[in-house]
Amino acid sequence: MLEFMTSNGGILFALLGAVLAAGLAGMGSAKAVGSVGEAAAGVVTEDPNKFGQALLLQVLPGTQGLYGLLIAFLVLVKIGLLGDPVTVTLGNGFNIFLACLPIAVVGYFSAIAQGRAAAAGVSIIAKRPEELSKGMIFAAMVETYAVLALLISFLMLNGITLA
């Protein structure tokens, strides 16, 4: 067991990080985009012409999923799964795992919170479609924290040098 961990643990931890980054952030975004979609469907039933506007709001909380994918992809590149294989020590693997956590956790929760703000924004386009941008800005305020988490994940990942 110990031998297995020392020879494969690095890759395992790095992959676990990638799984969490893409998985959790993606789950959050899926949940959020879904809930905005439900609210949007209600508005579009009343006025099909508002589809475009509603769609704009719906895609907003989808970015966390993309950020998660982005970090996961960089991890795959880093540990050589997509190109020439590299040796990943247990310590390095664990570091990569930690680097993935900010976007995984913050991505998940911020997506859901942003989804709620965007769903509330849908009621803005129901009543005052000309104020759509304000609804978009409210939702985007939440995304700031996903952006910050992405940044930290990226900088951490970038700072880890594999021998």
Partner 1 sequence: MAIVPMKHLSLIALQKDRDALLHDLSKLGVVQISESSGESLEKERSDLGKFKAQRSEIVGALEVLGKYVKVKSGLFPQREQVAAETFFASETIDDALEIAKEVNSISREIATLFANESRLIAKKDSLVPWKGIDVPLETVSGKRYFLSFGTIPAKFSVEEIKNQLAEIKSAYLECPSSDKEQHYVLVMCHDGEKEVLADTLRTLSFSKVSFKDTTGLVSENIASIEEEITKSGEKRKSLAEEFSKMGDSIPKLKLAYDALSVQIEKAEAQEKLLSTAKTVILNGWFPAREKGKLEKLFESYGAAYEMRDPLDEEEPPTLTYNSKLVEPYSMITNMYSPPAYRGIDPNPFMAPFFAIFFGIMFSDAAYGILLTLVSSIVLLKFKPRGGTRQLMAMAAMCGVTTFVWGVLFGGFFGDAIPTVYKMITGKPFGFELAVWFNPMKEPMTMLIFSFAFGGIHIFAGMAIQAYMMIRDGKLLDAIFDIGSWWVLFGGIVFALLGLTNVGLILIGVGALALLLTQGRNEKKFFKKITKGLASLYDITGFLGDILSYSRLLALSLATAVIASVINTMGAMTGPVGFVIVFLIGHTFNIAVNLIGTYVHTSRLQYVEFFGKFYQGGGEEFSPLDTKTKYVDIIKEEK
x/- letters, 119..138, toward partner 1 (CB under 8 A): --------------xx-xx-
**CA 43/CA 47 separation, integer angstroms:** 6
Select from 7, 87, 123, 144 the one that contacts partner 1 (CB under 8 A): 144
- The string over 61-78, giving b where at least 16 C-beta atoms fall within 10 Å of a residue's C-beta and e elsewhere, is bbbbbebbbbbbebbbeb
The answer to whether residue 140 forms part of the interface with partner 1 (CB under 8 A) is yes
The answer to whether residue 45 forms part of the interface with partner 1 (CB under 8 A) is no
Question: Closest CB to partner 1 among 5 and 77?
Answer: 77
The answer to whether residue 47 forms part of the interface with partner 1 (CB under 8 A) is no
DSSP string computed for 38-93? HHHHHHHHH-GGGHHHHHHHHHGGGHHHHHHHHHHHHHHHHTTSSSS-----HHHH
DSSP string computed for 9-24? HHHHHHHHHHHHHHHH
Select from 12, 66, 90, 160 the one that contacts partner 1 (CB under 8 A): 66
Select from 29, 63, 95, 114 the one that contacts partner 1 (CB under 8 A): 63
**CA 75/CA 112 separation, integer angstroms:** 25
Question: Closest CB to partner 1 among 88 and 103?
Answer: 103
| Single-letter amino acid code for the residue at 2 | L
Question: Closest CB to partner 1 among 5 and 134?
Answer: 134
Binding site for partner 1 (CB under 8 A): 56, 59-60, 62-63, 66-67, 69-70, 73-74, 82, 133-134, 136-137, 139-141, 143-144, 147-148, 150-151, 154-155, 158
